[in-house]
Structure 1
């Protein structure tokens, strides 16, 4: 049985911004889907303890005022998310995350910020991630156009309602992962452990290719130094470490 026919755990965050080291979680979802079992989502709204920039609120619809009124304390939410993902890993489920290094790194830094044991410290090498964005680019590298979740849903003929809400995006990521496996035999025919490992290789290859592109693009050469090859998580470095 291929991994895509079993149960999957989708994970998505909405945040105060795009800096994985400093931005905060505003909304989150861990959803179980597939395997012939009904969809079962767990969602959270957090009060991040900081103002939510207007630009971020325009994307996910959660303002500072709403987060303060409806959100739970961020530390509690972070702990709940980590425990939900630990449960998924303990159950042997792959965790489907669109652009995994963003969401997993934000969660890692939030856990450390609030004194919560980080996910990777709890599950070690047992975490298996499916990253639809990474896989799509690996199997169909020459297709033109953007590869956001909305774009991938459109390309694979999937419906996406309420984009940029964590529950809709987490479920859509799982559906894209399933569609990828159904279309591309090399994905559905690869065991989960091996697929996780090969995605690490693909991430490094794609980052290296992007660095080369930036290096030969006038005016963008300086951006190359910010490109990371880490997947599915950017390792934590203490201040002052190298």
Structure 2
């Protein structure tokens, strides 16, 4: 539905969150870089923090090709992984406790991997983070039949949001926040953060079921397999962050 109602109040201030990692498996892969920031109503970033972690394992060449961080660089300049995971988790917990929504594109990937990392290092994870805003889930719900890919880069371009350095945590996080604000300006979203968060749980589940059916039909999944649509924290590894 196109917008014909007042903008939701959360548009004026949103937190943004993104991870770059050693791979796409939320259970076993590790944080390499992280960004948590805060956007104002114009989409300008008014507060930000970046982290570089030494993940404690070698960073595969394929991952380095995506985000540019090598094993040598992470070991030389990164903070201990446990320290980074604790600080990122605490920053997000503080924002959520204040009622500030956290925007993350393909949130189930970033929040799930962070939760597994937290448990790995003996840190209390964010079990049920809320309120979370996932522009990927919302875009699919409101513009379901638009053809083409739904990577952050493609969706940002669709909503006229600049993204000059894709797969860099800060750039991706800020672009995701601006896409969320663009969605709120274009469509009539649920009026409260609680309702929006709860609706995304259902949308994500339905989208996963639809994708499962498609993958089985084209032979990418066995008939007995299914994509985990739990949102915003899942337990199984399917696809990585976009």
Q: Which has the higher contact order (CA 8 A, sep 6+)?
A: 2
| Counterpart pick for 1:100 among 92, 103, 107 | 107
Identify if the C-alpha distance between structure 1 residues 233 and 224 changes in structure 2 by more than 3 Å, giving closer, same or farther: farther
Whole-angstrom CA distance in 2 between matches of 1:50 and 1:177 = 34
Alignment partner, residue 206 of structure 1: 207
Q: 1:38: how far off?
A: 5.0
Match of 1:18 among 6, 24, 28: 24
Runs of 4 or more consecutive aligned structure 1 residues displaced over 3 Å after TM superposition: 35-38
Correspondent of 1:2 among 8, 16, 22: 8
Q: SS at the partner of 2:38?
A: strand
TM-fit CA distance, 1:41? 1.0
SS of 2:225's equivalent?
helix
What CA distance in whole angstroms lies between the structure 1 residues aligned with 2:224 and 2:9?
35
**1:4–1:177 CA contact under 8 A, matched in 2:** no
Q: Does 1:222 align with 2:222?
A: yes
CA RMSD of aligned residues (A): 1.7
1:214 shift after superposition:
2.0
Q: CA separation in 2, counterparts of 1:223 and 1:39?
A: 48
Please, what TM-score do these two structures have when normalized by structure 2? 0.90
- Residue 5 of structure 1 deviates from its aligned partner by 2.5
- Do the aligned residues in 2 keep the contact of 1:214 with 1:223 (CA within 8 Å)? no
Cα distance, 1:226 vs structure 2: 4.5
Distance 1:214 1:235, change over 3 A: closer
Query: Against the structure 1 CA distance between its residues 201 and 164, is the aligned structure 2 distance closer, same or farther, given a 3 Å change threshold?
Result: same
Q: CA deviation at 1:119?
A: 1.9
Counterpart in the other structure of 1:170 = 173
Partner deviation per Cα, 1:160-182 (whole Å, 9 max, x = no partner)? 12111111111110000000110
The alpha-carbon distance between structure 1 residues 68 and 182, as it changes in their structure 2 partners (threshold 3 A), is same
2:97 alignment counterpart: 90
| Cα shift at 1:91 | 1.6
2:102 paired with 1:116? no
What is the aligned length? Answer: 229
2:56 corresponds to 1:65: no
Matches of 2:187 and 2:45 in 1, distance apart?
A: 25
What TM-score does the superposition give when structure 1 sets the normalisation length? 0.90
Contact 2:27 2:235 in 1 (8 A): no
- Local SS of the residue matching 2:52: strand
1:20-55 Cα shifts (integer Å, max 9, x gaps): 000000000001111478521111000000000000
**Structure 2 vs 1, CA of residues 12 and 38 (structure 1 numbering), >3 Å: closer, same or farther?**
closer
Question: What CA distance in whole angstroms lies between the structure 2 residues aligned with 1:87 and 1:159?
Answer: 28
